[in-house]
Structure 1
Amino acid sequence: MLLILNVIYVLIAIAMIALILMQRGAGAQAGSGFGGGASATVFGARGSANFLSKATKWLAISFFVISMGMAWYATRKAGGDAAPTQAAGGMMSEAPAVPAQGGTAPAVPTAPAATVPQAPATPAPQVEVPAAPAQQAPAATQSPESAKPQPPAGG
């Protein structure tokens, strides 16, 4: 039964691909101005929009229904039990179980603790730093007139 369902599933997928590729895109009407207008007469006066879109819709619905059915079937036990089974080889099948309240957790290896030096208990003595002697700031820019030597005053 599952083999037949898989074959039908693949055939529906191939049919959907074919029908989607045969449909016109949004910009297909721009190409009809250059001599491609006769392609719409294959499916009748209205073109292929009705037949292809309806067929694609029903194929997509059946594709999703079969997908959900196969997913539901894969999560159930073969004996008809209603409880879902754990997938063999799944990613979470190897994870350790969470211990119950009051239980002990499995030992996890950790890196050795690094030794961090402690800060001194008393503050360091305050050292006075002498102030730098004040200097006169040099002139940033001088105009060409002020760069000329000035005659001495008084003469």
Structure 2
Amino acid sequence: MLLQLIQILYVLVSIGIIAFVLLQQGSGAQAGSGFGGGASATVFGARGASNFLSKSTKWLAIVFFVTSMGMAMYASKQATGKGPAKVDLGVMAQQAAKPAASLPTAPAQNAPAIPMAAPTAAQPAPAATPTAAPATAQPATEKPTQPAPAPSK
């Protein structure tokens, strides 16, 4: 129960970090203030949103890392056997309780056996790489072309 609450907190903190990082202004955002970008100062106070958002992001990041380390230590204790090693099988817990003898078995299929012949001295072993036939000269079937006669003047 406690682990589930910590996981819910973990997800909410990660969503909050994402939202606060996306709300922050970049370093080049000052150029856009002449086109109506200065309205955010009225929402978060005279100092603007940068101070509030940066402090909030810092504290959310601290909570995120502390929660991550806590869940990692909890998981490592369970893996080494020092903590409670209760495995939740869910629906499959009912199947694990049945003895193996009560499970149905597949019918045996009689497949015809094909004997494999071993190579004998009369049968040479196949070559690892096929040998190429020697290249033979192809007879020329085309006649050489005659140059075109020069035009007369």
TM-score where L is the length of structure 1: 0.48
Structure with the greater alpha carbon radius of gyration: 1
Q: Which has the higher helix share?
A: 2
